[in-house]
């Protein structure tokens, strides 16, 4: 259901409310232009999280979390991103395996079929970001290159790290081997700070290591406007924008995650970036107050 349409930032925004039971064909999305790049955020599903995922240690932190989530749930959507321009169709993250139908519908409503996708950027190897790469044991994107950060790919393909990992984490190593088996030499690595695809020089990977060893965000710059898809920089928007030092239990390096969260949110506020992430309660990017 269209909630409202507004004219802002010189572009037409169309916002669909993120509802629990969006009927097929109504994937909430937001679209805007960043220079010559068309940016589309798509919310595949409503996915609440338990506030217990936060590492609230002091009484003050616990009280702040209780205040932020009085009904005991962090109400989030799961966002993926589509960037289009100069012949490139770049999907950033793919959702869970169980949101594959929603991903297909989200792409279809953007006028894109899986065969049209030229690049899939995986911000990190967790299953809620890689799940849409395979369908029925086959590569879902027949033409696309699959792009990880260099550090992320190096970590999840390192046999010594795999041996040292816990059983739960070892599953993620298997996910990455499966992706390599499906996509072969179409899997590529990009260095943070550089353009992700040559067609779109104003789209860069941003180093956000901490949540995972090579976690990245995706930044689009145009003139004096900056848009950041921060992926899993945070999972509890209200609590962690208020206190960026608080990490989540699934941040692999909680201290590093806190540092990059603090620095990124500070710059986003100071420079008025438009921001959105994978696990936030909104589809339409925001400027942080
Ligand atoms: Zn995630």
Each domain of the chain, given as residue ranges in start order, spans 2-287
Q: What is the pLDDT of residue 11?
A: 35
What does the block give as tokens for 92? 């950033």
What does the block give as tokens for 86? 């100069």
Could you tell me the distance, in angstroms and rounded to a whole number, from the CA of residue 79 to the centre of ligand 1? Answer: 9
Span 15-55, pLDDT tens digits: 433 333 444 558 999 999 999 999 999 999 999 999 999 99
Q: What is the pLDDT of residue 24?
A: 53
Could you tell me the distance, in angstroms and rounded to a whole number, from the CA of residue 7 to the centre of ligand 1? Answer: 31
DSSP 8-state secondary structure symbol assigned to residue 273: -
Q: What is the pLDDT of residue 25?
A: 54
Class assignment of domain 2-287? alpha beta
pLDDT at 7 over 70: no
- The pTM score is 0.91
> What does each C-alpha distance from 144 to 60, 102, 214 come to in angstroms?
47, 19, 21
Span 94-123, pLDDT tens digits: 999 999 999 999 999 999 999 999 999 999
DSSP string, 40-74: EEEEEEE--B-GGGB---SHHHHHHHHHH-TTS-B
Could you tell me the distance, in angstroms and rounded to a whole number, from the CA of residue 10 to the centre of ligand 1? Answer: 31
Q: What is the pLDDT of residue 232?
A: 98
Report the pLDDT averaged over residues 271-277. Answer: 98
Report the pLDDT averaged over residues 170-178. Answer: 97
Could you tell me the distance, in angstroms and rounded to a whole number, from the CA of residue 6 to the centre of ligand 1? Answer: 29
Could you tell me the distance, in angstroms and rounded to a whole number, from the CA of residue 139 to the centre of ligand 1? Answer: 21
Cβ atoms within 10 Å of 2's Cβ, excluding its own: 9
């Amino acid at each position: 259901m269209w909630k409202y349409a507004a004219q802002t930032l010189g572009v037409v925004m169309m916002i669909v409310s993120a509802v629990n039971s969006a009927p097929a064909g109504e994937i909430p999305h937001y679209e805007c232009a960043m220079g010559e790049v068309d940016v589309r955020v798509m919310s595949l599903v409503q996915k609440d999280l338990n506030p217990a995922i936060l590492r609230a240690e002091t009484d003050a932190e616990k009280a702040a979390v209780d205040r932020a989530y009085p009904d005991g749930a962090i109400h989030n959507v799961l966002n993926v991103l589509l960037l289009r321009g100069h012949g490139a169709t770049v999907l950033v993250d793919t959702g869970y395996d169980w949101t594959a139908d929603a991903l297909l519908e989200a792409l279809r409503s953007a006028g894109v079929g899986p065969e049209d996708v030229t690049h899939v950027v995986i911000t990190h190897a967790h299953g809620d970001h890689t799940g849409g790469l395979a369908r029925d044991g086959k590569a879902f994107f027949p033409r696309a290159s699959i792009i990880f950060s260099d550090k992320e790919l190096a970590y999840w393909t390192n046999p010594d790290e795999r041996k040292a990992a816990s059983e739960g984490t070892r599953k993620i190593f298997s996910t990455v081997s499966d992706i390599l088996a499906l996509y072969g030499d179409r899997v590529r690595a990009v260095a943070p700070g550089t353009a992700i695809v040559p067609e779109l020089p104003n789209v860069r990977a941003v180093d956000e290591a901490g949540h995972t060893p090579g976690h990245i965000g995706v930044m689009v710059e145009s003139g004096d406007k900056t848009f950041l898809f921060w992926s899993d920089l945070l999972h509890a928007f209200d609590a962690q924008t208020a206190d960026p030092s608080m990490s989540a239990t699934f941040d692999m390096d909680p201290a590093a995650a806190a540092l990059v969260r603090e620095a990124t949110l500070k710059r986003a506020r100071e420079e008025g970036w438009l921001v959105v992430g994978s696990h936030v309660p909104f589809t339409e990017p925001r400027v942080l107050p």
